Amino acid sequence: MNHQIIDVALAVIRDARGRYLVAQRPASADYADYWEFPGGKREAGENRLQVLQRECSEELGITVQNARPLFRWSYQYSDRHVRLDAWLIYRYNGEAHGAEGQQVRWLHPAEFDDFRFLDANKILMKVLALPEHYAITPEFDGPETFYSGLDSLLAQNIKLLQFRAKGLSEVDYKSRALDLIQWCRNHDVTLMLNAASAWVNTLDAAGLHLTSQRLMALDQRPIAKGRWLSASCHSVEELRHAECIGVDFALLSPVLPTQSHPHAPALGWQALEAWVSEVNIPVYALGGMTKVHLEQAYQVGCRGIAGISAFWRDTKS
């Protein structure tokens, strides 16, 4: 059955207290009384930014001054196919309110579960829970150097970290990982363990990161929902498989040539954008990334950037 395809822009507005603006659908609308991020349908001739600006003016009574792409995804309802385009609004003129009579509220992310949201909006909530930077540890080179590097991450406000240490034995990796779990808990950092799922499942304070080889050997999600699951991908097929088994977010690489693999074929920005558009999960750009690439990663649809050297510093050197 061919369903109607609807393009929708969504406004993501966050206040100084970390709350997000949401609106309730009116009684006269489909899915009446459900909550959603404000926005609306794209009209003929409008570009992505124009539809956002118009909808914010009509629905919220504000004029958008500065916004950037946040996430694009598709959702299939029983009677329609919706393509959603969420934008993060940095600055606007006016006071946001229900300009069409709809109820609006400012909610902390912890309050989202207390409200009945449209299913398509729930994907966006996962995106909002992820930071723009994803740091990966280098090879373990002794505790002093390692924890010096961790201190540098704190100085950069890094909140998502993958412990990747291929040079350690399994016993040493597990020992260091247990110490790192406590460190991350103390500093409010989300930790992803690049290790066997059977062992990570015995823990309760870390997520699981899958190598591409482990990813492709799976036919279902290897860790309980509610715990973060990420995967390394190097092809669009791997990216699709990650989405299929329920991976929460992916790393796609190499985007650019890297110092460690200078001759490895790089995707480039155009291929990255094309592949990211194939799936409905957040993707981090990896490989040759520095902080100056963050804006370009946003523009091609990525949640942010990931890397080792982009973030890792030895503060004692």
Domains of the chain: residue spans and CATH = 4-123 (3.90.79.10), 133-307 (3.20.20.70)
**206-248 confidence digits (pLDDT tens):** 999 999 999 999 999 999 999 999 999 999 999 999 999 999 9
pLDDT of res. 168: 96
Mean pLDDT value across residues 127-146: 95
Instruction: Give the torsion sign (CA, 151, 155, 160, 166).
Output: negative
Q: What is the pLDDT of residue 204?
A: 86
Banded model confidence at residue 199, pLDDT cuts 50, 70, 90: very high
Q: What is the pLDDT of residue 80?
A: 86
Residue 79 — very low, low, confident or very high, per pLDDT cuts 50/70/90?
confident
Report the C-alpha gap between 121 and 69 in whole angstroms: 16
* Edge-first strand listing for the sheet containing 63-76: 39-41, 4-13, 80-93, 63-76
Q: What is the pLDDT of residue 310?
A: 94
The pLDDT assigned to 52 comes to 97
254 preceded by cis ω (within 30°)? yes
What residues contact 78, with CB distance under 8 A and at least 6 apart? none
Q: How confident is the model at residue 313 (pLDDT cuts 50, 70, 90)?
A: confident
Characterise 92 by phi-psi region: left (phi > 0), alpha (psi -120 to 50), beta (else): beta
For the chain, give the mean pLDDT: 94
* 30 confidence band (pLDDT: 50, 70, 90): confident
Q: Rounded mean pLDDT of 93-107?
A: 96
Residue 226 CB partners (closer than 8 Å, separation 6+) = none
> Given a cut of 80, is residue 166 above it in pLDDT?
yes
Give the residue-averaged pLDDT of 76-93.
93
Task: Record the tokens describing residue 5, joined without a space.
Answer: 């395809």
pLDDT digits (tens, 9 = 90+) for 263-272: 778 999 999 9
According to the model, what pLDDT value does residue 317 have? 47
In this model, does residue 185 exceed pLDDT 80?
A: yes
Cα dist from 129 to 93, 206, 260, whole Å: 26, 15, 31
Burial of residue 148 (CB within 10 Å: 0-12, 13-18, 19+) is middle
Task: Give me the torsion for CA of 159, 187, 124, 112, rounded to 10°.
Answer: -170
